[in-house]
Structure 1
Amino acid sequence: MNPYIMFLLISNLALGTIITASSYHWFLAWIGLEMNTLAVIPLLAKQHHPRATEASTKYFIIQATASSIILFSSIFNAWHTGVWDITQLTAYPAPTLLTLALALKLGLAPLHFWLPEVMQGTNMTTALIIATSQKLPPMILLFMTSHQLPSSTLLIMAVISTLIGGWSGLNQTQLRKLMAFSSVGHLGWMAAISTISKNLLFLTLMIYLLMTLSFFITIINSTTKTTKDLGMMWNTSPTLSTTTMLTLLTLGGLPPMLGFLPKWLILQELITYQLTPTATFLAITSLLSLMFYMRLTFTTTLTISPSTTNTTMKWRFKPTKLINPTPIIIIMFFLIPITPLIYS
């Protein structure tokens, strides 16, 4: 793709997020969402491959449908209240419609069906954009309207998301699909806490973005696409294999890694608000996600490494050198002592 066109698309991607984050009027927020969607579709379709065309078409239809529901809920609310302010969404059923639309945009279960297929149909860099920056505009709207959304609907979606995100990821060998179900599981934790604590929602989102960015940069550097390729990472770079292990343990939420921190705080907050059954179910379903993260960790560091191999795998080719993920992983560990400042 032409560098100037790429620069224009990435700029529109960022501009759409900024417009949505800084808007107070529903129409401006909708414009930001549409700019964000239209900027990412050429990135999805740039491969000129049937799978990429299918992924971009699915993404466009889903995002356009969700944006239409958001616009309809805001018009319905303005019709009854005369107010276009984002924080004044009070007319029933506008909050419920907005919750469903945001869940469709984010990929919350049971409206997650498009996310694994879209991420599998594109390359790793675009999959990274879908898993990270494309979550920001709908998450910003969720952050601003969380005090008015139906908490019972969000809690049901959270429970289903953590269950499906963990269960469906168990039989995946493609890393893009696996990270899609990982995203569904992490979004379930964010949905569970969204109506209770905005600070904790923000903290969980930031840690999720750091963890996902770190893992995607690692597999882009090593040109890894499947779990079988992870076993050959040691031959490419032992350091990269070790940092990948740390990143996977962080994604799984094992203590004392940073990924354990938001889950622990969310469970504590849910129990404080007398939601012990929900907290128990979230904790149990997180073990499913931990299972496939531990399987990836085993494949990465304990299957073949540190011995050499005579098989002619793709590790013999020069890997793509993009960004060293080690600084991002170091930043994740430095965030642990300052967590009380972020959470308070």
Structure 2
Amino acid sequence: MSISNLLLFLMLVLGPVISVSATSWPVCWAGMEIGILGLIPLLFIGNSPFSKESALKYFCIQALASALIFVGGMVLFTLLKSYFIYSLVFLMGVCLKLAIFPGHFWVTGVVYGLGWVSVCFILGPLKVPPLAFLSEFNSIFPESVSWVLLLSGVSAIVGASLGNNQTNIRAMLGASSIAHSGWMGAATVFGGLWLYLAIYLLVLVFLLLFLWQGDMFMGSMGVLSMEGLPPFIMFLAKLKVVQSALMAENAFIWLGLPLSGALLSLIFYLKFSYSLLLSSEQFPARFGALSFMVVNFLGVAWLLASF
């Protein structure tokens, strides 16, 4: 790795760290931008023309989203007073960042032409600062919570619908990210956000690692784990959000859309899992496969201990 690439990678890692440790919203916004500026040059590395096209699309969308967040946040977080127009501008910027409906349209087209490492960074760690912004926005302006829950629920449905129309696994993971972003948006209101994000990142990294290595058998297990079926650890993340919603007053009605989206998502997760399973040549006996299985069984043990 060259010095320039190492510097860009450090920017990519330190950006979210600066955002979550900041004490003021401009510094949080600056950390979010540092992470994105570190990632975009790395997306251009490679000879594939699709990677360059995807990088340009991603840059344009992120620049627009950052501008919307800055304009909206400059008024909302400075005056600490809710204005409908600026709240709408801020929410639209966050939706573009997190690929929550109606800002979901760019994900599948961008991740289609990227490598596995780039897909991991776009769908994973760079969600941290926008989620922190959205969580703070919900706590300061509770009158906007209903809009956030509605957009999050619709995002879960839209992500599931898009996933059922995909034939490429990268595009499917992009649609899956839209659905999971809907659950994370709901978790910013109900609770359990950071547990959900941590488990999602863990499962995503394992899945992309298996696909990068060409391990189709464990890739199929990773796809099943992304759905959140009860034997797998992702189920605990969704269960935590549901439990938090049940403890909130009159919040159960908002769970209908995310749960319906999870049911629709099961169709394409099973389809891609079965396709990867048929492509596998033998049962793997490597450390990565063992680690992934142990993680999921720890999730089952945690679930049993909680009851």
Report the TM range for the smaller structure's normalisation: 0.7 to 0.9
Cα RMSD between the aligned structures? 2.7
- Match of 2:3? 4
Say if 1:144 and 1:276 are closer, same or farther in 2 by CA, change over 3 A: closer
Deviation of 1:258 after TM superposition, in Å, equals 1.4
Does residue 1:265 correspond to 2:257, yes or no? no
Does residue 1:166 correspond to 2:160, yes or no? yes
Say if 1:250 and 1:304 are closer, same or farther in 2 by CA, change over 3 A: closer
Say if 1:326 and 1:92 are closer, same or farther in 2 by CA, change over 3 A: farther
Query: Residues of 1 paired with 2:66 and 2:293: CA distance?
Result: 35
Say if 1:338 and 1:305 are closer, same or farther in 2 by CA, change over 3 A: closer
Deviation of 1:325 after TM superposition, in Å, equals 5.0
- Match of 2:81? 90
Query: Residues of 2 paired with 1:157 and 1:104: CA distance?
Result: 12
Say if 1:323 and 1:153 are closer, same or farther in 2 by CA, change over 3 A: farther
- Match of 2:128? 136
- Match of 2:185? 191
Alignment of 1:36-51 (within 5 A): 36-51=35-50
Percent identity of the aligned residues? 28
- Match of 1:285? 261
Residue of structure 1 aligned with 2:272, choices 262, 279, 296 = 296
Confirm or deny: 8 A CA contact 1:26 1:71 kept in the other structure.
Answer: no
Q: Which has the higher helix share?
A: 2
- Match of 1:275? 251
- Match of 2:23? 24
- Match of 1:250? 225
Bigger shift: residues 136-145 or 203-212: 136-145
Structure 2 unaligned blocks of 5 or more: none
Say if 1:57 and 1:325 are closer, same or farther in 2 by CA, change over 3 A: farther
Deviation of 1:90 after TM superposition, in Å, equals 3.1
Q: Aligned with 2:190: secondary structure?
A: coil
Aligned letter for 2:187?
I
- Match of 1:177? 171
Confirm or deny: 8 A CA contact 1:244 1:300 kept in the other structure.
Answer: yes
Deviation of 1:259 after TM superposition, in Å, equals 1.7
Confirm or deny: 8 A CA contact 1:107 1:115 kept in the other structure.
Answer: yes
Query: Residues of 1 paired with 2:77 and 2:156: CA distance?
Result: 34
Q: Aligned with 1:324: secondary structure?
A: helix
- Match of 1:219? 211
TM normalised by structure 1 equals: 0.79
- Match of 2:94? 102
Does residue 1:115 correspond to 2:91, yes or no? no
Deviations along 1:233-277, one digit per CA (max 9) or x if unpaired, are: 4xxxxxxx1x33332222111112212222233233334432333
Bigger shift: residues 324-333 or 255-264: 324-333
Aligned residues: 300
Does residue 1:206 correspond to 2:206, yes or no? no
Query: Residues of 1 paired with 2:279 and 2:25: CA distance?
Result: 54
Structure 1 unaligned blocks of 5 or more: 82-88, 224-232, 234-240, 308-321
Query: Residues of 2 paired with 1:213 and 1:176: CA distance?
Result: 14
Deviations along 1:96-123, one digit per CA (max 9) or x if unpaired, are: 4322211111111220111111111211
Bigger shift: residues 28-37 or 174-183: 28-37
Confirm or deny: 8 A CA contact 1:161 1:188 kept in the other structure.
Answer: yes
- Match of 1:334? 298
Say if 1:12 and 1:306 are closer, same or farther in 2 by CA, change over 3 A: closer
Deviations along 1:269-293, one digit per CA (max 9) or x if unpaired, are: 3344323333233222211111111
Say if 1:254 and 1:269 are closer, same or farther in 2 by CA, change over 3 A: same
Does residue 1:62 correspond to 2:38, yes or no? no
Q: Aligned with 1:112: secondary structure?
A: coil
Say if 1:16 and 1:215 are closer, same or farther in 2 by CA, change over 3 A: same
Deviation of 1:328 after TM superposition, in Å, equals 4.1
Confirm or deny: 8 A CA contact 1:210 1:328 kept in the other structure.
Answer: no
Say if 1:53 and 1:276 are closer, same or farther in 2 by CA, change over 3 A: same
Aligned letter for 1:293?
Y
Confirm or deny: 8 A CA contact 1:16 1:33 kept in the other structure.
Answer: yes
Query: Residues of 2 paired with 1:122 and 1:245: CA distance?
Result: 20
Deviation of 1:48 after TM superposition, in Å, equals 4.3
Deviation of 1:15 after TM superposition, in Å, equals 1.4
Confirm or deny: 8 A CA contact 2:149 2:189 kept in the other structure.
Answer: no
TM normalised by structure 2 equals: 0.88
Confirm or deny: 8 A CA contact 1:211 1:250 kept in the other structure.
Answer: yes
Query: Residues of 2 paired with 1:119 and 1:192: CA distance?
Result: 24
Deviations along 1:132-185, one digit per CA (max 9) or x if unpaired, are: 122122123223333135111111111111111111111212111100000111
